[in-house]
């Protein structure tokens, strides 16, 4: 929960921002990281792998949307979340 609040604070556009594209990408990145750590322990968990694939694809779509609409914000998000693009 603390990690989620920090993500929202660091990527928020304005004070009451909780659902912008930038924040959605940040929260999905946190979720992907947690699931990746989970798979290091439980390699045979196939049900969670579907959730991981959906999260990765959704983040990919959101990143493409953000790049198309606001390239400056896209670059900021890539740099803050340390994504390789």
Quick: pLDDT tens for 29-77: 999 999 999 999 998 988 999 999 999 999 999 999 999 999 999 999 9
Asked whether 73 and 22 are in contact (CB, 8 A), the reply is: yes
pLDDT category at 17 given cuts 50, 70, 90 is confident
Asked whether 63 and 26 are in contact (CB, 8 A), the reply is: no
Question: pTM for the full model?
Answer: 0.89
The Cα 51–Cα 46 span in angstroms is: 9
Structural domains in the chain plus CATH codes? 2-9+18-81 (1.10.287.10)
Element (H or E) spanning 80, and its range?
helix 71-81
Predicted local confidence at residue 84, as pLDDT? 76
Find the length of the chain. 85
The Cα 40–Cα 58 span in angstroms is: 22
pLDDT category at 1 given cuts 50, 70, 90 is low
């Amino acid at each position: 929960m603390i990690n989620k609040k920090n993500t929202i604070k660091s990527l928020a556009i304005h004070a009451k921002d909780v659902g912008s594209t930038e924040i959605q990408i940040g929260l999905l990145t946190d979720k992907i990281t947690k699931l990746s750590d989970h798979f290091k322990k439980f390699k045979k968990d196939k049900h969670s792998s579907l959730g991981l694939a959906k999260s990765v694809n959704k983040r990919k779509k959101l990143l493409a949307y953000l790049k198309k609409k606001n390239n400056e914000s896209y670059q900021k998000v890539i740099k803050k979340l340390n994504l390789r693009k």
